[in-house]
Amino acid sequence: MSKVSERDVVMIALFAALIAVLGLVPKLTLASGIPITAQTLGIMLCGTVLGAWRGAAAAALFCLLTLLGLPLLAGGRGGLGVLMTPWAGFFVGFPIAAFVTGLVMERMRALPVAAGAAAGSVFGGIVALYVFALAWYMLAKPAGLGEAVTVAALPFIPGDLIKAVLAALVTQALAKARPGALPSRG
C-alpha cells in the first residue's frame, strides 16, 4: 500500500456517504416479506468501484459513524444498539464484504467489468459476509449452525442476490460513463 493521498481520503469519505444515502432510497419488499434496501448495494459498490482497501475503509468509516450515533442505517437506525443483536455480524462484516468484493474485482482483471463486479459482489457481499455474520450469530446468541442458517441467512439471500446483480449493472454503467475512472481497475 502506497502513501495515502488526499484523493484517496476524499473518495473513501464520499463513498461512506454514498452508502448512507443509498440507505435512504425507498425500499422494496420481497415476496418473503423481508425488506431490502440499497444499503448493501452501496457496500458492494465500494468494493467494485474503489477496490479492496479503499472500499473496506469506506465501509469501516460508515460503520464507525453509525456506531457513534448517526442514523445512517436504512430506516434511520444507528447507535451502539446495532452491535447488540446476534445479527450484528451483518453490519460489522461490511468492511470485510467490501474488501473481498474489491479483491475479486482487482484480481479478475481479465473478466469484463460487469462479470467481475457480479463475481466480486457474490463472493464479498454474500459468501464472505454470510460466513462472518453466521459465525457471529452462533457466538453471540449462542446458537447452532442449523438455527443460524434458518433464522439469519435464508430469509435475506434472495434480496442479496438481486443486489449483486444490481451492483454489477451499476458498476458497468459507471465504467461506461467514465472510462478509466474505476479505481478498482486503475
Partner 1 sequence: MISLTSPVETVFHRWPAGLKLALLCVAGTGLFMLASLAGQLVALALVAAFYTLPGMRFARAGLAALRPVALFAALIAAWHVATGTLAEGAVIVLRLLSAVALANLVTMTTRLADMLAVLHWLTAPLRRIGLNTRPPELAISLVIRFIPVLSEKGAALAESYRARSPRRRAGWRIAAPLAGLALDDADHVAEALRARGGLSEGARK
Q: What's the min distance (Å) between Cβ of 152 and partner 1?
A: 8
Q: E-assigned strands of the chain?
A: 28-29, 35-36
Q: What's the min distance (Å) between Cβ of 42 and partner 1?
A: 8
Residue 11: enclosing H or E segment and its boundaries?
helix 6-22
What span, in angstroms and rounded, lies between the C-alpha atoms of 175 and 185? 10
Binders of partner 1 among residues 91 to 130 (CB under 8 A) are none
Q: Kindly indicate which of the ranges 64-72, 103-111, 112-120, 123-131 contains the residues binding partner 1, using the contact rule CB under 8 A.
A: 64-72
Contact residue for partner 1 among 62, 94, 136, 156 (CB under 8 A) = 62
Q: Is 72 in the site for partner 1 (CB under 8 A)?
A: yes
3-32 footprint of partner 1 as x/- string (CB under 8 A): -xxxx-xxxxxxxxxx-xxx-xxx-x----
What span, in angstroms and rounded, lies between the C-alpha atoms of 43 and 105? 14
- Is 79 or 158 the residue whose CB approaches partner 1 more closely? 79
Identify the burial level of 33 via C-beta atoms within 10 angstroms of its C-beta, where 0-12 means exposed, 13-18 middle and 19 or more buried: exposed
Angle at 116 between CA 110 and CA 119, to 5 degrees: 130
Q: What residues pair up with 73 in beta bridges, in sequence order?
A: 77
Q: Is 145 in the site for partner 1 (CB under 8 A)?
A: no
Contact residue for partner 1 among 177, 179, 180, 186 (CB under 8 A) = 177
